């Protein structure tokens, strides 16, 4: 009799009664074998007219989801939806800092309070710029002021911005990056002696005929927020924004609020980043970089030759039970700050690619494509029990945790609640009906090298209304599943006697399939052991 059911084990050497394959099962009721709960669809406004290709889900106060051409911000609680279009085509990377939701590679920030859209980068060119003396903080100052004819500079920049100044031909030394201290109308003031002026004493104003002013941001491939800064990386460089300011990445004044950058110099490109255990972590396929420190003056990048995130799987990073999980080249790994350890041995020789993942706090949900099967499936790792379960072939493209639940976005723009309670107004009234499910056990040898036979199976189950179960048997890996019986009952938990015509065999395998909620409490087999001969 088997009364305890574990998780998936697709290894060739799986023990008697271990689960070799499954669909739509869960470990929520372990050791009872159970079907996962029905999912519900999120009540979100539809996309604007036109075909949208959805690829990203994000939460910050409200729920955000992005397509290749635009972004939708929606809050089903109050029925509000804000559409932002005109973005760059392609995949979107979200992060948040303060009241801002920031999106790369578009380099835009959405103010969640005012609903304004702002650009991280800004530029303006001027045909006449006077470099002169002026004032700062109410005191006279020399060689610190720019007066730009016919341009309202405060529409493009703000005090504290680090801007790149180029195009100066009278004095090339004035082509530099400087930090604005005051700005009003067509006037910008900087620290004293920021610029070079004419005359023997370098205090004679002069005019440049063409000057370009730019506030720039790096082209980040991955980005996260840590300690009130945005952190990101491009091909080989790690960046940090100015403290509390996602618009500035080029402020270097020797202050604790400065932005920061560091080239790591190692081969290969970055594959992901995350804020974990209080510091930012950056991944390559075979390297992990941790950035320690509290200020730009003491930031230190510590590399380690360890299993990093697989290329193309930056979306597989998620935290469950205070442990970081992601897909590396050998499989899914768990990382607690030391050496990553493989947790996907249950998949046997199968390898995976194209992964995205999320967590409900304790379970890790990862949608990935098997390199052998070519099939995309949703796998769930129970961090408390160490079990894997397979749910279904949902075309997941992104996950996000929001309001106590884990939500999954699929490629057609539907957002499903895959884990968590249906509370408040998070979901509307429709979703899945009877969930199709199956469980295929590994071969039974019954600890004997001799022939054996099965005379009956007893199954103790509890079914939801309208649910059904079928049980099949296969002998000696011949690929033929023979139905034993179909079971359909009420919600009463009971044991079913399922007779089988005895057949001598070296080994056999059982499979359960069904529709609707089902919980299996025990599986008993009445079998006998024969000789080493087949009759």
How many C-beta atoms surround the C-beta of residue 518 within 10 A?
A: 22
Token code pair at residue 281? 């972590």
pLDDT in tens, 412-430: 778 889 988 644 334 444 5
The answer as to whether 408 is a domain residue is: no
Cβ contact 274:280 at 8 Å:
yes
**What's the CATH number where 28 sits?**
2.60.120.260
Cβ contact 380:23 at 8 Å:
no
Q: Where are the beta strands (DSSP E) in 209-265?
A: 211-215, 222-226, 229-233, 237-240, 260-263
Of 215, 242, 258, the one marking the end of a domain is 215
207: part of which helix (H) or strand (E)? strand 206-208
Q: Is the pTM of this model over 0.75?
A: yes
pLDDT at 79: 61
pLDDT at 8: 94
pLDDT at 533: 66
Alpha carbon separation from 352 to 11, 311, 380 (Å, rounded): 15, 11, 14
- Supply angle C-alpha 431, 436, 440, rounded to 5: 145
Q: Where are the alpha helices (DSSP H) in 307-430?
A: none
The answer as to whether 182 is a domain residue is: yes
**What's the CATH number where 159 sits?**
2.40.30
Q: Where are the alpha helices (DSSP H) in 300-342?
A: none
Q: Where are the alpha helices (DSSP H) in 303-449?
A: none
Of 172, 197, 215, the one marking the end of a domain is 215
Q: Count the alpha carbons within 13 Å of 261 in the hemisphere toward its beta carbon.
A: 15
Cβ contact 256:296 at 8 Å:
yes
Token code pair at residue 308? 């990093």
The answer as to whether 253 is a domain residue is: no
Query: What is the tally of structural domains in the chain?
Result: 2
294 contacts: CB under 8 Å, gap ≥ 6: 227
Token code pair at residue 439? 């469980």
Phi then psi for residue 173, to 5 deg, are -60, -20
- Supply angle C-alpha 315, 365, 32, rounded to 5: 170
The answer as to whether 104 is a domain residue is: no
Token code pair at residue 114? 């005012």
Cβ contact 314:271 at 8 Å:
yes
The answer as to whether 393 is a domain residue is: no
pLDDT at 528: 80
Q: Which residue has the tokens 């493989």?
A: 342
**Nearest 10 degrees: CA dihedral of 319, 402, 360, 245?**
10
pLDDT at 47: 53
Q: Which residue has the tokens 């033929």?
A: 480
The answer as to whether 389 is a domain residue is: no
Residue 19's Cβ-count burial label (10 Å; 0-12, 13-18, 19+) is buried
- Supply angle C-alpha 364, 307, 396, rounded to 5: 35
Residues of the chain predicted below pLDDT 70: 43-52, 76-80, 421-430, 489-491, 533-535
How far is it, in rounded angstroms, from Cα 353 to Cα 371? 7
The answer as to whether 322 is a domain residue is: no
| Domain residue limits at 508 | 19-37+437-529
Cβ contact 408:396 at 8 Å:
yes
DSSP 532: S
Q: Where are the alpha helices (DSSP H) in 221-368?
A: none
pLDDT in tens, 108-131: 999 888 888 899 999 999 999 999
The answer as to whether 321 is a domain residue is: no
Of 215, 249, 272, the one marking the end of a domain is 215
């Amino acid at each position: 009799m088997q009364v305890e059911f574990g998780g998936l084990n697709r290894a060739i050497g799986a023990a008697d009664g271990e689960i070799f394959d499954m669909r739509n099962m869960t470990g929520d009721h372990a050791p009872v074998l159970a079907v996962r709960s029905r999912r519900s669809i999120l009540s979100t406004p539809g996309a604007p007219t036109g075909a949208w290709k959805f690829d990203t889900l994000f939460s910050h106060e409200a729920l955000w989801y992005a397509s290749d051409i635009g972004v939708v911000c929606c809050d089903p609680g109050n029925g509000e939806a804000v559409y932002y279009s005109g973005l760059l085509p392609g995949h979107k990377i979200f992060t948040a800092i303060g009241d801002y939701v920031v999106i790369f590679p578009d380099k835009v920030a959405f103010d969640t309070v005012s609903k304004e859209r702002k650009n991280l980068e800004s530029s303006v060119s001027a045909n006449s710029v006077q470099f002169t003396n002026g004032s700062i903080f109410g005191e006279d100052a020399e060689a610190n002021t720019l007066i730009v004819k016919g341009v309202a500079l405060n529409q493009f920049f703000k005090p504290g911005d680090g801007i790149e100044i180029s195009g100066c031909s009278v004095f090339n030394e004035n082509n530099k990056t400087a930090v604005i201290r005051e700005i009003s109308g067509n006037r910008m003031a900087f620290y004293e002696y920021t610029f070079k002026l004419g005359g023997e004493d370098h205090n004679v104003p002069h005019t440049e005929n063409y000057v370009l002013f730019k506030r720039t941001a790096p082209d980040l491939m991955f980005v996260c927020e840590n300690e009130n800064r945005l952190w990101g990386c491009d091909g080989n460089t790690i960046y940090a924004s100015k403290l509390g300011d996602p618009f500035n990445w080029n402020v270097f004044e020797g202050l604790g609020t400065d932005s920061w950058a560091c080239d790591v110099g190692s081969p290969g490109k970055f594959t992901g980043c995350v804020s974990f255990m209080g510091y930012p972590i950056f991944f390559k396929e075979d390297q992990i970089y941790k950035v320690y420190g509290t200020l730009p003056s003491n930031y230190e990048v510590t590399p380690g030759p360890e299993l990093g995130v697989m290329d193309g799987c930056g979306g597989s990073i998620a935290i469950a039970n205070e442990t970081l999980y992601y897909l590396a080249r050998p499989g899914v790994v768990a990382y607690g700050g030391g050496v990553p350890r493989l947790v996907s041995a249950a998949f046997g020789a199968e390898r995976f690619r194209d992964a995205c993942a999320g967590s409900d706090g304790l379970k890790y949900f990862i949608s990935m494509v098997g390199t052998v099967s070519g099939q995309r499936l949703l796998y769930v790792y129970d961090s408390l029990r160490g079990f894997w379960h397979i749910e279904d072939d949902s075309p997941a493209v992104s996950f996000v945790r929001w309001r106590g639940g884990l939500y999954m976005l699929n490629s057609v723009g539907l957002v499903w609640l895959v884990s968590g309670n249906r509370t408040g107004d998070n979901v509307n009234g429709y979703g899945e009906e009877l969930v199709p499910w199956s469980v295929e056990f590994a071969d039974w040898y019954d600890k004997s090298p001799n022939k054996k036979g099965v005379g009956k199976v007893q199954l103790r189950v509890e079914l939801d209304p309208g649910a059904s179960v079928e049980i099949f048997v296969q002998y000696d890996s011949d690929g033929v599943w023979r139905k034993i019986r179909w079971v359909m009952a009420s919600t009463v938990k009971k044991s079913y006697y399922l007779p089988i015509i005895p057949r001598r065999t070296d080994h056999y395998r059982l499979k359960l399939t069904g529709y609707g909620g089902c919980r299996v409490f025990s599986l008993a087999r009445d079998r006998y052991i024969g000789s080493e001969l087949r009759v």
